[in-house]
Chains A and B, each alone.
Chain A
Amino acid sequence: MTEDPRPPAAPGKPAPLLPADSGRDRPLFAVAAILVFLACLAALGARGAWTVADGWMADLSGRMTVQILPVDGRDTGADAAEAAGLAQALPGVRRAEAGTRAEAEALLEPWLGGDGLPADLPVPLLVDIELAAMAPATAADLTAALEAAGIPARVDDHARWSEAVVRTARLARLMALGLLALIAGAAAAVIAFAARASLAARQSVVDALHLVGAQDGYIARLFERRFFVLGIRAGIAGAFFAFAIALLVTYGGPGQSEGFIPVWSFSLWDGAVLFLAPVLAGLIAALSARLAVASDLRARW
Protein backbone atom coordinates (compact mmCIF):
# COMPACT_ATOMS: atom_id res chain seq x y z
CA MET A 1 0.00 0.00 0.00
CA THR A 2 1.56 3.29 -1.03
CA GLU A 3 0.59 6.65 0.30
CA ASP A 4 -1.07 8.99 -2.22
CA PRO A 5 0.75 12.30 -2.69
CA ARG A 6 -2.28 14.45 -1.83
CA PRO A 7 -5.51 13.65 -0.09
CA PRO A 8 -8.45 14.14 -2.43
CA ALA A 9 -11.16 16.61 -1.56
CA ALA A 10 -13.94 15.43 0.73
CA PRO A 11 -17.34 14.78 -0.84
CA GLY A 12 -19.83 17.62 -0.41
CA LYS A 13 -23.31 16.68 0.65
CA PRO A 14 -23.89 14.42 3.68
CA ALA A 15 -25.87 11.27 2.92
CA PRO A 16 -28.96 10.37 4.98
CA LEU A 17 -28.03 8.15 7.91
CA LEU A 18 -31.06 5.92 7.46
CA PRO A 19 -30.92 3.91 4.26
CA ALA A 20 -33.54 4.46 1.59
CA ASP A 21 -36.60 2.30 1.94
CA SER A 22 -36.55 0.82 -1.56
CA GLY A 23 -40.29 0.17 -1.60
CA ARG A 24 -40.66 -1.19 1.93
CA ASP A 25 -42.72 1.82 3.00
CA ARG A 26 -45.10 1.78 0.04
CA PRO A 27 -47.88 -0.23 1.74
CA LEU A 28 -47.57 2.04 4.77
CA PHE A 29 -47.81 5.06 2.50
CA ALA A 30 -51.01 3.66 0.98
CA VAL A 31 -52.55 2.93 4.40
CA ALA A 32 -51.61 6.38 5.72
CA ALA A 33 -53.00 8.09 2.61
CA ILE A 34 -56.29 6.19 2.97
CA LEU A 35 -56.51 7.12 6.66
CA VAL A 36 -55.88 10.77 5.85
CA PHE A 37 -58.52 10.56 3.12
CA LEU A 38 -61.04 9.14 5.61
CA ALA A 39 -60.05 11.70 8.24
CA CYS A 40 -60.61 14.51 5.71
CA LEU A 41 -64.04 13.12 4.86
CA ALA A 42 -64.87 12.85 8.58
CA ALA A 43 -63.73 16.46 9.14
CA LEU A 44 -65.72 17.69 6.16
CA GLY A 45 -68.67 15.63 7.43
CA ALA A 46 -68.37 17.27 10.84
CA ARG A 47 -68.32 20.68 9.17
CA GLY A 48 -71.33 19.67 7.04
CA ALA A 49 -73.25 18.47 10.11
CA TRP A 50 -72.47 21.78 11.78
CA THR A 51 -73.64 23.84 8.82
CA VAL A 52 -76.78 21.81 8.27
CA ALA A 53 -77.70 21.98 11.96
CA ASP A 54 -77.17 25.74 11.92
CA GLY A 55 -79.42 25.97 8.86
CA TRP A 56 -82.13 23.89 10.47
CA MET A 57 -81.92 25.92 13.67
CA ALA A 58 -82.09 29.18 11.71
CA ASP A 59 -85.24 27.89 10.00
CA LEU A 60 -86.90 26.80 13.24
CA SER A 61 -85.88 29.42 15.74
CA GLY A 62 -87.31 32.91 15.44
CA ARG A 63 -90.55 31.64 13.97
CA MET A 64 -93.93 30.40 15.20
CA THR A 65 -96.83 28.86 13.35
CA VAL A 66 -100.46 29.35 14.29
CA GLN A 67 -102.82 26.67 13.11
CA ILE A 68 -106.36 28.10 12.75
CA LEU A 69 -108.77 25.25 13.45
CA PRO A 70 -111.87 24.92 11.27
CA VAL A 71 -114.98 25.18 13.44
CA ASP A 72 -118.58 24.94 12.22
CA GLY A 73 -120.14 28.34 11.91
CA ARG A 74 -116.83 30.22 11.74
CA ASP A 75 -114.97 31.59 8.74
CA THR A 76 -111.51 30.04 8.97
CA GLY A 77 -110.10 32.56 6.49
CA ALA A 78 -111.39 35.49 8.51
CA ASP A 79 -110.05 33.91 11.71
CA ALA A 80 -106.66 33.53 10.07
CA ALA A 81 -106.59 37.15 8.95
CA GLU A 82 -107.67 38.34 12.42
CA ALA A 83 -105.08 36.13 14.08
CA ALA A 84 -102.40 37.59 11.81
CA GLY A 85 -103.53 41.09 12.79
CA LEU A 86 -103.47 40.24 16.50
CA ALA A 87 -100.04 38.69 16.21
CA GLN A 88 -98.67 41.63 14.25
CA ALA A 89 -99.88 43.94 17.02
CA LEU A 90 -97.99 42.01 19.70
CA PRO A 91 -94.61 43.37 20.79
CA GLY A 92 -91.75 41.06 19.71
CA VAL A 93 -93.38 40.07 16.41
CA ARG A 94 -91.69 41.30 13.23
CA ARG A 95 -94.16 39.94 10.72
CA ALA A 96 -97.33 37.83 10.68
CA GLU A 97 -98.84 36.50 7.49
CA ALA A 98 -102.03 34.49 7.15
CA GLY A 99 -101.96 31.63 4.71
CA THR A 100 -104.76 31.09 2.24
CA ARG A 101 -106.82 27.95 1.65
CA ALA A 102 -105.00 27.49 -1.66
CA GLU A 103 -101.67 27.45 0.18
CA ALA A 104 -103.05 24.96 2.73
CA GLU A 105 -104.29 22.72 -0.10
CA ALA A 106 -100.86 22.95 -1.75
CA LEU A 107 -99.29 21.69 1.48
CA LEU A 108 -101.74 18.77 1.55
CA GLU A 109 -101.26 17.92 -2.12
CA PRO A 110 -98.54 15.27 -1.58
CA TRP A 111 -100.96 13.28 0.59
CA LEU A 112 -104.37 14.05 -0.90
CA GLY A 113 -103.54 14.58 -4.56
CA GLY A 114 -103.74 17.63 -6.80
CA ASP A 115 -107.32 17.32 -7.99
CA GLY A 116 -108.60 19.90 -5.54
CA LEU A 117 -110.41 19.33 -2.28
CA PRO A 118 -114.18 19.58 -1.88
CA ALA A 119 -115.06 23.13 -0.97
CA ASP A 120 -116.93 22.01 2.13
CA LEU A 121 -114.02 19.99 3.51
CA PRO A 122 -112.71 21.93 6.51
CA VAL A 123 -109.01 22.69 6.14
CA PRO A 124 -106.97 24.31 8.89
CA LEU A 125 -105.12 27.44 7.79
CA LEU A 126 -101.69 28.49 8.90
CA VAL A 127 -100.40 31.84 10.05
CA ASP A 128 -96.66 32.20 9.66
CA ILE A 129 -95.13 34.45 12.31
CA GLU A 130 -91.62 35.83 12.21
CA LEU A 131 -90.35 36.95 15.63
CA ALA A 132 -88.16 39.91 16.42
CA ALA A 133 -84.55 39.03 17.19
CA MET A 134 -84.60 41.03 20.42
CA ALA A 135 -87.23 40.17 23.07
CA PRO A 136 -89.33 37.93 20.83
CA ALA A 137 -92.96 37.23 21.70
CA THR A 138 -93.64 33.89 23.33
CA ALA A 139 -96.13 31.19 22.44
CA ALA A 140 -97.95 32.00 25.70
CA ASP A 141 -98.35 35.67 24.69
CA LEU A 142 -99.84 34.69 21.35
CA THR A 143 -102.08 31.97 22.80
CA ALA A 144 -103.47 34.43 25.34
CA ALA A 145 -104.21 37.02 22.65
CA LEU A 146 -105.96 34.44 20.43
CA GLU A 147 -108.00 33.04 23.33
CA ALA A 148 -109.04 36.56 24.32
CA ALA A 149 -110.31 37.10 20.77
CA GLY A 150 -112.08 33.72 20.80
CA ILE A 151 -110.18 32.38 17.78
CA PRO A 152 -109.86 28.58 17.83
CA ALA A 153 -106.18 28.07 17.17
CA ARG A 154 -103.12 26.09 18.15
CA VAL A 155 -99.74 27.82 18.51
CA ASP A 156 -96.59 25.90 17.62
CA ASP A 157 -93.28 27.51 18.60
CA HIS A 158 -91.32 24.54 17.10
CA ALA A 159 -89.77 23.83 20.50
CA ARG A 160 -90.30 20.10 20.03
CA TRP A 161 -88.58 20.19 16.63
CA SER A 162 -85.84 22.52 17.81
CA GLU A 163 -84.85 20.19 20.63
CA ALA A 164 -84.85 17.18 18.30
CA VAL A 165 -82.75 19.06 15.75
CA VAL A 166 -80.29 20.23 18.42
CA ARG A 167 -79.99 16.67 19.74
CA THR A 168 -79.51 15.26 16.25
CA ALA A 169 -76.99 17.92 15.28
CA ARG A 170 -75.05 17.44 18.50
CA LEU A 171 -75.00 13.69 17.92
CA ALA A 172 -73.89 14.13 14.31
CA ARG A 173 -71.07 16.44 15.38
CA LEU A 174 -69.97 14.09 18.14
CA MET A 175 -70.01 11.14 15.76
CA ALA A 176 -68.00 13.01 13.16
CA LEU A 177 -65.45 14.23 15.71
CA GLY A 178 -65.30 10.78 17.32
CA LEU A 179 -64.69 9.24 13.92
CA LEU A 180 -61.96 11.80 13.31
CA ALA A 181 -60.32 10.95 16.65
CA LEU A 182 -60.54 7.22 15.93
CA ILE A 183 -58.95 7.62 12.51
CA ALA A 184 -56.18 9.80 13.96
CA GLY A 185 -55.61 7.17 16.66
CA ALA A 186 -55.53 4.40 14.07
CA ALA A 187 -53.04 6.39 11.99
CA ALA A 188 -50.83 6.93 15.04
CA ALA A 189 -50.97 3.22 15.92
CA VAL A 190 -50.16 2.15 12.35
CA ILE A 191 -47.22 4.56 12.19
CA ALA A 192 -45.94 3.42 15.60
CA PHE A 193 -46.11 -0.20 14.44
CA ALA A 194 -44.35 0.66 11.20
CA ALA A 195 -41.69 2.68 13.03
CA ARG A 196 -40.92 -0.29 15.28
CA ALA A 197 -40.72 -2.56 12.23
CA SER A 198 -38.50 -0.02 10.53
CA LEU A 199 -36.27 0.15 13.60
CA ALA A 200 -35.97 -3.65 13.64
CA ALA A 201 -35.18 -3.71 9.93
CA ARG A 202 -32.40 -1.17 10.43
CA GLN A 203 -30.95 -2.76 13.52
CA SER A 204 -27.43 -2.80 12.09
CA VAL A 205 -27.63 0.92 11.40
CA VAL A 206 -28.93 1.63 14.90
CA ASP A 207 -26.20 -0.54 16.43
CA ALA A 208 -23.54 1.27 14.43
CA LEU A 209 -24.93 4.65 15.50
CA HIS A 210 -24.99 3.57 19.14
CA LEU A 211 -21.48 2.25 18.81
CA VAL A 212 -20.15 5.62 17.71
CA GLY A 213 -21.93 7.37 20.56
CA ALA A 214 -25.30 8.43 19.17
CA GLN A 215 -27.87 9.43 21.77
CA ASP A 216 -31.24 7.67 21.67
CA GLY A 217 -32.81 11.04 20.89
CA TYR A 218 -30.53 11.46 17.88
CA ILE A 219 -31.61 8.08 16.50
CA ALA A 220 -35.27 8.72 17.32
CA ARG A 221 -35.06 12.03 15.44
CA LEU A 222 -33.82 10.22 12.31
CA PHE A 223 -36.94 8.05 12.34
CA GLU A 224 -39.08 11.01 13.29
CA ARG A 225 -37.91 12.93 10.20
CA ARG A 226 -38.35 9.88 7.97
CA PHE A 227 -41.94 9.36 9.12
CA PHE A 228 -42.75 13.08 9.09
CA VAL A 229 -41.93 13.18 5.39
CA LEU A 230 -43.92 9.98 4.82
CA GLY A 231 -46.88 11.48 6.73
CA ILE A 232 -46.74 14.70 4.71
CA ARG A 233 -46.61 12.81 1.40
CA ALA A 234 -49.42 10.44 2.42
CA GLY A 235 -51.37 13.44 3.75
CA ILE A 236 -51.08 15.27 0.43
CA ALA A 237 -52.29 12.18 -1.44
CA GLY A 238 -55.19 11.59 0.97
CA ALA A 239 -56.22 15.26 1.02
CA PHE A 240 -56.07 15.39 -2.77
CA PHE A 241 -58.53 12.50 -3.09
CA ALA A 242 -60.78 14.04 -0.41
CA PHE A 243 -60.68 17.30 -2.37
CA ALA A 244 -61.69 15.44 -5.52
CA ILE A 245 -64.61 13.84 -3.68
CA ALA A 246 -65.66 17.22 -2.23
CA LEU A 247 -65.62 18.78 -5.71
CA LEU A 248 -67.63 15.86 -7.08
CA VAL A 249 -70.25 16.28 -4.35
CA THR A 250 -70.30 20.07 -4.74
CA TYR A 251 -70.67 20.17 -8.49
CA GLY A 252 -72.10 16.74 -9.21
CA GLY A 253 -74.75 16.67 -6.43
CA PRO A 254 -78.24 18.23 -6.31
CA GLY A 255 -78.29 21.87 -7.34
CA GLN A 256 -80.58 23.00 -4.62
CA SER A 257 -81.82 21.81 -1.26
CA GLU A 258 -84.55 19.20 -1.37
CA GLY A 259 -86.32 19.12 1.95
CA PHE A 260 -83.88 18.24 4.71
CA ILE A 261 -81.11 17.17 2.33
CA PRO A 262 -78.48 19.93 2.52
CA VAL A 263 -76.75 21.41 -0.48
CA TRP A 264 -72.99 20.74 -0.25
CA SER A 265 -70.83 23.72 -0.94
CA PHE A 266 -67.05 23.79 -0.75
CA SER A 267 -66.06 26.52 1.68
CA LEU A 268 -62.86 28.16 2.84
CA TRP A 269 -63.13 26.09 6.01
CA ASP A 270 -63.05 22.93 3.91
CA GLY A 271 -60.03 24.24 2.07
CA ALA A 272 -58.27 24.92 5.39
CA VAL A 273 -59.05 21.36 6.57
CA LEU A 274 -57.61 19.86 3.40
CA PHE A 275 -54.59 22.17 3.55
CA LEU A 276 -53.85 21.33 7.19
CA ALA A 277 -54.46 17.59 6.82
CA PRO A 278 -50.99 16.75 5.40
CA VAL A 279 -49.29 18.86 8.08
CA LEU A 280 -51.27 17.15 10.83
CA ALA A 281 -50.60 13.75 9.25
CA GLY A 282 -46.89 14.55 9.23
CA LEU A 283 -46.93 15.68 12.85
CA ILE A 284 -48.89 12.62 14.02
CA ALA A 285 -46.57 10.31 12.07
CA ALA A 286 -43.45 12.04 13.43
CA LEU A 287 -44.67 11.98 17.02
CA SER A 288 -45.79 8.34 16.85
CA ALA A 289 -42.51 7.26 15.30
CA ARG A 290 -40.43 9.19 17.82
CA LEU A 291 -42.32 7.81 20.81
CA ALA A 292 -42.24 4.24 19.48
CA VAL A 293 -38.53 4.30 18.65
CA ALA A 294 -37.58 6.08 21.88
CA SER A 295 -39.52 3.55 23.98
CA ASP A 296 -37.95 0.66 22.04
CA LEU A 297 -34.45 2.02 22.53
CA ARG A 298 -35.03 2.71 26.23
CA ALA A 299 -35.85 -0.94 26.80
CA ARG A 300 -32.40 -2.01 25.59
CA TRP A 301 -30.25 -1.21 28.62
Chain B
Amino acid sequence: MPSASPETRADDALESVIRFDGVGMRYGRGPEVLQDISFDLPRGSFQFLTGPSGAGKTSLLKLIYLAQRPSRGLIWHFGRDSSKLHRSDLPDIRRRIGMVFQDFRTLDHLSVFENVALPLRVAGRKRKEYADDVAELIHWVGLGDKMDAHPQTLSGGEQQRVAIARAVVGQPELLVADEPTGNVDPAMARRLLRLFTELNRLGTTILIATHDITLVRALDVPIMSLADGRLSTGRRKASA
Protein backbone atom coordinates (compact mmCIF):
# COMPACT_ATOMS: atom_id res chain seq x y z
CA MET B 1 0.00 0.00 0.00
CA PRO B 2 1.51 3.33 -1.00
CA SER B 3 2.15 5.71 1.83
CA ALA B 4 -0.08 8.77 1.95
CA SER B 5 -1.30 11.34 4.40
CA PRO B 6 -4.09 10.28 6.77
CA GLU B 7 -6.52 12.65 5.01
CA THR B 8 -5.79 11.12 1.62
CA ARG B 9 -6.16 7.62 2.99
CA ALA B 10 -9.49 8.52 4.57
CA ASP B 11 -10.72 10.00 1.29
CA ASP B 12 -9.72 6.84 -0.55
CA ALA B 13 -11.42 4.77 2.10
CA LEU B 14 -14.71 6.51 1.36
CA GLU B 15 -14.66 4.80 -2.05
CA SER B 16 -14.06 1.44 -0.42
CA VAL B 17 -16.49 -0.62 1.54
CA ILE B 18 -13.61 -2.06 3.53
CA ARG B 19 -10.01 -0.88 3.53
CA PHE B 20 -7.14 -2.41 5.46
CA ASP B 21 -3.91 -0.44 5.81
CA GLY B 22 -0.88 -2.20 7.32
CA VAL B 23 -3.02 -4.27 9.65
CA GLY B 24 -1.50 -6.72 12.08
CA MET B 25 -3.36 -8.84 14.58
CA ARG B 26 -2.41 -11.11 17.44
CA TYR B 27 -4.41 -12.85 20.14
CA GLY B 28 -3.19 -11.78 23.55
CA ARG B 29 0.59 -12.01 23.64
CA GLY B 30 0.79 -14.68 20.96
CA PRO B 31 2.44 -14.33 17.57
CA GLU B 32 0.86 -12.21 14.87
CA VAL B 33 -1.72 -14.23 12.95
CA LEU B 34 -2.08 -11.44 10.41
CA GLN B 35 0.85 -9.32 9.28
CA ASP B 36 0.87 -6.11 7.27
CA ILE B 37 -2.46 -6.75 5.62
CA SER B 38 -3.45 -4.02 3.18
CA PHE B 39 -6.29 -4.26 0.67
CA ASP B 40 -9.41 -2.51 -0.58
CA LEU B 41 -12.84 -3.90 -1.17
CA PRO B 42 -14.18 -1.37 -3.68
CA ARG B 43 -17.90 -0.74 -3.54
CA GLY B 44 -19.72 -3.21 -5.79
CA SER B 45 -16.74 -5.55 -6.15
CA PHE B 46 -16.75 -9.35 -5.90
CA GLN B 47 -13.62 -10.99 -4.43
CA PHE B 48 -12.54 -14.36 -3.15
CA LEU B 49 -10.34 -14.91 -0.13
CA THR B 50 -8.46 -18.19 -0.20
CA GLY B 51 -5.73 -19.82 1.80
CA PRO B 52 -4.96 -23.01 3.70
CA SER B 53 -6.36 -23.73 7.14
CA GLY B 54 -4.65 -21.63 9.78
CA ALA B 55 -3.62 -18.98 7.26
CA GLY B 56 -5.68 -16.35 9.11
CA LYS B 57 -8.88 -16.18 7.05
CA THR B 58 -11.18 -16.38 10.05
CA SER B 59 -9.16 -13.74 11.91
CA LEU B 60 -9.39 -11.44 8.91
CA LEU B 61 -13.15 -11.96 8.75
CA LYS B 62 -13.43 -11.19 12.48
CA LEU B 63 -11.77 -7.86 11.83
CA ILE B 64 -14.21 -7.17 9.00
CA TYR B 65 -17.32 -7.86 11.07
CA LEU B 66 -15.90 -6.01 14.07
CA ALA B 67 -15.57 -8.96 16.41
CA GLN B 68 -11.89 -8.09 16.99
CA ARG B 69 -9.72 -5.03 16.94
CA PRO B 70 -6.42 -5.01 15.04
CA SER B 71 -3.18 -4.96 17.05
CA ARG B 72 -1.81 -2.39 14.63
CA GLY B 73 -2.70 -0.66 11.40
CA LEU B 74 -5.94 0.95 10.32
CA ILE B 75 -9.23 -0.43 9.07
CA TRP B 76 -11.96 1.65 7.46
CA HIS B 77 -15.53 0.37 7.37
CA PHE B 78 -17.66 2.25 4.86
CA GLY B 79 -15.23 5.15 5.06
CA ARG B 80 -15.10 5.26 8.86
CA ASP B 81 -11.89 4.67 10.76
CA SER B 82 -12.76 1.72 13.00
CA SER B 83 -10.23 2.77 15.64
CA LYS B 84 -12.45 5.81 16.28
CA LEU B 85 -15.69 3.89 16.48
CA HIS B 86 -17.65 3.92 19.70
CA ARG B 87 -19.35 0.74 20.80
CA SER B 88 -22.71 2.31 20.01
CA ASP B 89 -21.59 2.76 16.36
CA LEU B 90 -21.06 -0.97 15.84
CA PRO B 91 -24.68 -2.08 15.30
CA ASP B 92 -25.18 0.37 12.44
CA ILE B 93 -22.07 -0.90 10.70
CA ARG B 94 -22.90 -4.54 11.35
CA ARG B 95 -26.34 -4.03 9.83
CA ARG B 96 -24.60 -3.03 6.62
CA ILE B 97 -22.65 -6.32 6.62
CA GLY B 98 -24.22 -9.71 6.00
CA MET B 99 -22.12 -12.50 7.51
CA VAL B 100 -22.27 -16.19 6.68
CA PHE B 101 -20.25 -18.35 9.02
CA GLN B 102 -18.85 -21.77 8.37
CA ASP B 103 -20.51 -22.97 11.58
CA PHE B 104 -23.78 -21.22 10.61
CA ARG B 105 -24.43 -19.59 14.01
CA THR B 106 -28.14 -20.07 13.72
CA LEU B 107 -30.23 -20.03 16.88
CA ASP B 108 -31.58 -23.45 17.71
CA HIS B 109 -34.53 -22.20 19.72
CA LEU B 110 -35.86 -20.21 16.77
CA SER B 111 -37.53 -21.57 13.67
CA VAL B 112 -36.05 -21.18 10.21
CA PHE B 113 -38.39 -18.24 9.60
CA GLU B 114 -37.40 -16.54 12.88
CA ASN B 115 -33.70 -17.10 12.18
CA VAL B 116 -33.89 -15.58 8.74
CA ALA B 117 -36.05 -12.68 9.93
CA LEU B 118 -33.72 -11.93 12.86
CA PRO B 119 -31.83 -8.95 11.31
CA LEU B 120 -35.12 -7.29 10.35
CA ARG B 121 -36.67 -7.94 13.74
CA VAL B 122 -33.61 -6.55 15.52
CA ALA B 123 -33.70 -3.50 13.25
CA GLY B 124 -37.18 -2.79 14.59
CA ARG B 125 -39.08 -3.65 11.41
CA LYS B 126 -42.71 -4.69 11.83
CA ARG B 127 -43.43 -8.37 11.25
CA LYS B 128 -46.21 -7.76 8.75
CA GLU B 129 -43.84 -5.61 6.70
CA TYR B 130 -41.24 -8.32 6.24
CA ALA B 131 -43.10 -11.61 6.70
CA ASP B 132 -43.83 -12.14 3.01
CA ASP B 133 -40.33 -11.17 1.86
CA VAL B 134 -38.73 -13.49 4.40
CA ALA B 135 -41.05 -16.34 3.42
CA GLU B 136 -40.22 -15.78 -0.24
CA LEU B 137 -36.48 -15.78 0.43
CA ILE B 138 -36.74 -19.01 2.47
CA HIS B 139 -38.72 -20.50 -0.35
CA TRP B 140 -36.06 -19.36 -2.82
CA VAL B 141 -33.25 -21.09 -0.94
CA GLY B 142 -35.32 -24.27 -1.06
CA LEU B 143 -36.52 -24.41 2.54
CA GLY B 144 -40.13 -23.35 1.96
CA ASP B 145 -41.42 -26.57 3.49
CA LYS B 146 -39.22 -26.17 6.56
CA MET B 147 -40.11 -22.67 7.61
CA ASP B 148 -41.28 -23.83 11.05
CA ALA B 149 -38.45 -26.32 11.52
CA HIS B 150 -35.68 -25.65 13.99
CA PRO B 151 -32.05 -25.65 12.82
CA GLN B 152 -31.01 -28.72 14.82
CA THR B 153 -33.45 -30.78 12.76
CA LEU B 154 -31.88 -29.60 9.48
CA SER B 155 -28.92 -31.01 7.58
CA GLY B 156 -25.67 -29.06 7.39
CA GLY B 157 -26.49 -27.84 3.91
CA GLU B 158 -29.95 -26.69 4.98
CA GLN B 159 -28.51 -24.82 7.94
CA GLN B 160 -26.00 -23.23 5.59
CA ARG B 161 -28.86 -21.96 3.46
CA VAL B 162 -30.64 -20.56 6.54
CA ALA B 163 -27.42 -18.71 7.44
CA ILE B 164 -27.11 -17.33 3.92
CA ALA B 165 -30.76 -16.25 3.82
CA ARG B 166 -30.27 -14.49 7.16
CA ALA B 167 -27.18 -12.72 5.86
CA VAL B 168 -28.85 -11.41 2.73
CA VAL B 169 -32.37 -10.68 4.00
CA GLY B 170 -31.47 -7.16 5.08
CA GLN B 171 -29.94 -6.39 1.67
CA PRO B 172 -26.55 -5.56 3.16
CA GLU B 173 -24.00 -3.39 1.36
CA LEU B 174 -21.32 -6.01 2.02
CA LEU B 175 -21.79 -9.77 2.14
CA VAL B 176 -18.97 -11.76 3.71
CA ALA B 177 -19.26 -15.53 3.52
CA ASP B 178 -16.95 -18.05 5.13
CA GLU B 179 -17.04 -21.32 3.16
CA PRO B 180 -20.64 -20.77 2.07
CA THR B 181 -20.72 -23.86 -0.12
CA GLY B 182 -18.83 -26.15 2.21
CA ASN B 183 -21.89 -28.15 3.22
CA VAL B 184 -24.04 -28.14 0.12
CA ASP B 185 -24.15 -30.30 -2.99
CA PRO B 186 -22.76 -28.95 -6.28
CA ALA B 187 -26.20 -28.02 -7.59
CA MET B 188 -27.00 -25.96 -4.50
CA ALA B 189 -23.47 -24.49 -4.59
CA ARG B 190 -24.14 -23.23 -8.13
CA ARG B 191 -27.50 -21.89 -7.04
CA LEU B 192 -25.96 -20.05 -4.09
CA LEU B 193 -23.23 -18.66 -6.30
CA ARG B 194 -25.95 -17.40 -8.61
CA LEU B 195 -27.55 -15.70 -5.59
CA PHE B 196 -24.24 -14.04 -4.72
CA THR B 197 -23.62 -12.84 -8.27
CA GLU B 198 -27.18 -11.55 -8.50
CA LEU B 199 -26.72 -9.64 -5.24
CA ASN B 200 -23.43 -8.30 -6.57
CA ARG B 201 -25.14 -7.22 -9.78
CA LEU B 202 -27.62 -5.27 -7.63
CA GLY B 203 -24.73 -3.45 -5.95
CA THR B 204 -23.79 -5.59 -2.95
CA THR B 205 -20.05 -5.98 -2.41
CA ILE B 206 -19.18 -9.65 -1.98
CA LEU B 207 -16.22 -11.28 -0.24
CA ILE B 208 -16.19 -15.07 -0.14
CA ALA B 209 -13.63 -17.00 1.86
CA THR B 210 -13.37 -20.49 0.47
CA HIS B 211 -11.28 -23.56 -0.11
CA ASP B 212 -13.55 -24.57 -2.95
CA ILE B 213 -11.40 -24.24 -6.05
CA THR B 214 -14.41 -25.02 -8.25
CA LEU B 215 -16.20 -22.05 -6.79
CA VAL B 216 -13.18 -19.80 -7.32
CA ARG B 217 -12.79 -20.99 -10.93
CA ALA B 218 -16.43 -20.32 -11.66
CA LEU B 219 -15.93 -16.56 -11.72
CA ASP B 220 -13.32 -14.25 -13.14
CA VAL B 221 -12.90 -12.06 -10.09
CA PRO B 222 -9.95 -10.90 -7.96
CA ILE B 223 -8.58 -13.41 -5.48
CA MET B 224 -6.85 -12.56 -2.23
CA SER B 225 -4.68 -15.35 -0.91
CA LEU B 226 -3.62 -15.63 2.69
CA ALA B 227 -0.61 -17.69 3.67
CA ASP B 228 1.06 -17.57 7.08
CA GLY B 229 -0.80 -14.38 7.90
CA ARG B 230 0.34 -12.52 4.80
CA LEU B 231 -1.84 -11.49 1.92
CA SER B 232 -1.20 -11.61 -1.81
CA THR B 233 -3.61 -10.72 -4.60
CA GLY B 234 -4.22 -12.21 -8.01
CA ARG B 235 -6.84 -13.20 -10.47
CA ARG B 236 -7.85 -16.56 -11.86
CA LYS B 237 -9.44 -16.88 -15.22
CA ALA B 238 -12.94 -18.28 -15.02
CA SER B 239 -13.37 -21.79 -16.33
CA ALA B 240 -15.86 -22.57 -19.02
Complex interface: chain A residues within 8 A of B90 (CB):
210, 301
Q: Which residues of A contact B136 (CB under 8 A)?
A: 7
- How far does the alpha carbon of A214 sit from the alpha carbon of B119 in the complex, in Å? 8
Q: Are B144 and A212 in contact (CB under 8 A)?
A: no
Chain B residue numbers with a CB within 8 Å of A214 are: 91, 122
A3-46 to B contact mask, C-beta < 8 Å, 1/0 = 11011111100110101100000000000000000000000000
- For window 127-150 of B, CB contacts with A under 8 Å fall at 127, 131-132, 134-136, 138-140, 142, 144-145, 147-148
Which size class do A's interface residues fall under?
A: 20 to 34
B105 on the A face (CB < 8 A): yes
How many B residues are at the interface, by size bracket? Answer: 35 or more
Contact of A212 among B87, B111, B113, B118 (CB under 8 A): B118
Question: Complex Cα distance A208/B122, Å?
Answer: 11
Contact of A301 among B87, B142, B166 (CB under 8 A): B87
Q: Across the interface, which residues of A come within 8 angstroms of B119, CB to CB?
A: 212-213
Chain A residues near B108: list those with CB within 8 A. 19
Distance from A258 Cβ to chain B, minimum over Cβ atoms (Å)? 60
Chain A residue with the shortest CB-CB distance to B124: A218
A215 in contact with B114 (CB, 8 Å): no
Whether the pair A14, B144 counts as a contact (CB closer than 8 A) is: no
* Residues of B contacting A: mostly: helix
B187 touches A (CB below 8 Å): yes
A222 CA to B212 CA, complexed, in Å? 39
Check A52 for interface membership: any CB of B closer than 8 A.
no
Interchain CA distance A33-B188 in the complex, whole Å: 53
Residue contact B135 to A10, C-beta cutoff 8 Å:
yes
A sample of 29 inter-chain contacts (CB < 8 A) reads: A1-B142, A1-B187, A7-B132, A7-B136, A8-B144, A8-B145, A10-B131, A10-B134, A11-B111, A14-B121, A14-B127, A15-B109, A17-B107, A17-B118, A17-B121, A19-B107, A205-B109, A207-B105, A208-B105, A208-B118, A209-B118, A210-B90, A210-B94, A211-B99, A212-B95, A212-B118, A216-B87, A300-B87, A301-B90
- Partner-A contacts on B (CB < 8 A): 65, 69, 87-88, 90-92, 94-95, 99, 105-111, 113-114, 118-119, 121-123, 127, 131-132, 134-136, 138-140, 142, 144-145, 147-148, 166, 170, 187-188, 191
